[in-house]
Structure 1
Amino acid sequence: MQTEKVVNHIVDWLKEYATAANMNGFIIGISGGIDSAVTSALCAKTGLRTLCVEMPIHQALTQVSRGKDHITFLKNHFANVTNLEVDLTSVFEQFKEVVPFEDENPNIDLSLANTRARLRMSTLYYFAGLHKYLVAGTGNKVEDFGVGFYTKYGDGGVDLSPIADLMKSEVYEIGRYLNISDDILNAAPTDGLFGDSRSDEDQIGASYDELEWAMERDRLGMNAEDYSGREKEVFEIYKSRNKANKHKMDPIPVCNIPFNLKN
């Protein structure tokens, strides 16, 4: 990958899009992970106003500290970067108090995890509306178009996606080029939605390198029967996730009414 040229291409694309839309800049949720770090740095490089927002909900201190350190790094290098912290923990707890809490339901943990992401999305759009900012998505190609590893109308609810055509390995390559901290580069990827230490790999059952391999083999028309052992297992994980999450990755289905029924 021609890293410098890719970075310049994304920065130019961001700036041109915002200018054409008559928007003042960008807003990004900062998680302490590589995707939000790279996305925020790319937005900052446009020279347009870039608002970094921390939105902890029972967040691990390591994630919080990485996010704060990254924001400090950006503010030291870009005069157009500002930041806010909105602790949504009490909002999340209040939400749990006013809805029926089915702790026996096997889906409760995932449903609440997705609720965290949707509270953050609403917060970002609140500030975006106040300041005429675009919400910049932080999803990469494997997450957004491979296994659908994001929350529908949560971190998937964005105005534009600067890094969604980059594999995770390419995001890391750009991160190194942009001097993202080693703490972030070396941290195990996690969505941080469950209030514990589980990583993305723990949830998915495969690493991003493995998923990239499977995504490319799927593109080439291969199937699980072409492999054995761990490769077969990874390919099946990829295909299962891809199929189950099509509802996220495909356009919202519209019920088209036959012409004769409307006349």
Structure 2
Amino acid sequence: MQAHAVIDHITGWLKDYHATAHSKGFVVGVSGGVDSAVVSILAARTGLPTLLLEMPIRQKEDQRERALAHIEDLKQRFPNVKAISVDLTPSFNTFAETVEVDESEYPAKQLALANARSRLRMMTLYYYGQLNGFLVTGTGNKVEDFGVGFFTKYGDGGVDISPIGDLLKTQVYELAAELEVIESIQKAQPTDGLWDTDRTDEQQMGATYPELEWAMSVHGWNRPEDFEGRQREVLEIYTRLNQAMQHKINPIPVCEIPLKLLNGS
């Protein structure tokens, strides 16, 4: 991949879309992960006002440290960058207490709460986006957004634009190196940061990003039975996740009413 050329292309695309949308800049949620780090630098490179939001919810200290270190790095490098830290833990705790249910009766409780964290952050991003006239800038990559659906519907999937949605995770890491993202972020294990316990992306999905990228490349052309060992296992994982995520990327189903019913004939 021509990393520098891709960086220039995305930067130009962001500027062009900003002009078309008549926005005043960009707002990006910064998590301490590589995707948000790359997207925030790409937005900053446009020279347009870029607001970084750090939104901890019961966050692990190392994740916060990486996010804050990245924010300070960008503020030093780009005069158009501003940042706000919004501690959403009290708001989330109130929500969690209000909707408390018995986990033995509702086994999906922890997953529902994890998704609620993402949706609370989305709401916060749009709040500050609307205050400033900024575009909410997504941080999802191609494997997550179009392969395995590793995002929250109307959470981190709720954005105005998606600058790296056509890039694989390994390609995002290439851009991170070219953009000189701080080393602690480049070396960190990918995690969505939505759980009280440490859960990496690989632990949640059952495969690494390079493995899922391979599965994405052969999916539709091959079946799991065409392979053996780990490859078969990975393609089975990818196929299962891909099938389960279709509701996230397909348009919302609309019940079409026959004209004869609408016309009363």
Partner of 1:67: 67
Task: Tell me the alpha carbon deviations over residues 227-248 of structure 1, each in whole angstroms, 9 at most, x when there is no partner.
Answer: 0111000000000000011100
Query: Residues of 1 paired with 2:40 and 2:256: CA distance?
Result: 40
Partner of 1:207: 208
Query: Residues of 2 paired with 1:100 and 1:257: CA distance?
Result: 39
Count of aligned positions: 262
Query: Residues of 2 paired with 1:96 and 1:67: CA distance?
Result: 25
Partner of 2:145: 144
TM-score norm. by structure 2 comes to 0.97
The correspondence of residues 66-85 of structure 1 with structure 2, limited to 5 A, is 66-85=66-85
Query: Residues of 2 paired with 1:10 and 1:258: CA distance?
Result: 44
Query: Residues of 1 paired with 2:101 and 2:19: CA distance?
Result: 45
Query: Residues of 2 paired with 1:6 and 1:21: CA distance?
Result: 22
SS in 2 for 1:234: helix
Gaps in structure 2 of 5+ consecutive residues? none
SS in 1 for 2:219: helix
Partner of 2:113: 112
Partner of 1:157: 158
In the alignment, residue 91 of structure 1 is paired with which amino acid? S
The correspondence of residues 22-61 of structure 1 with structure 2, limited to 5 A, is 22-61=22-61
SS in 2 for 1:237: helix
In the alignment, residue 19 of structure 1 is paired with which amino acid? A
Task: Tell me the alpha carbon deviations over residues 142-180 of structure 1, each in whole angstroms, 9 at most, x when there is no partner.
Answer: 000000000000000000000000000000000000001
SS in 1 for 2:256: coil
The correspondence of residues 162-201 of structure 1 with structure 2, limited to 5 A, is 162-201=163-202
Task: Tell me the alpha carbon deviations over residues 41-68 of structure 1, each in whole angstroms, 9 at most, x when there is no partner.
Answer: 0000000100000000000000000000
Deviation of 1:101 (Å): 2.4
Deviation of 1:100 (Å): 3.8
Query: Residues of 1 paired with 2:166 and 2:210: CA distance?
Result: 16
Matched, 1:218 2:215: no
In the alignment, residue 182 of structure 1 is paired with which amino acid? E
In the alignment, residue 142 of structure 1 is paired with which amino acid? V
Query: Residues of 2 paired with 1:97 and 1:168: CA distance?
Result: 36
Gaps in structure 1 of 5+ consecutive residues? none
Once the two structures are aligned, what percentage of the paired residues are identical?
54
Query: Residues of 1 paired with 2:17 and 2:59: CA distance?
Result: 33
TM-score norm. by structure 1 comes to 0.98
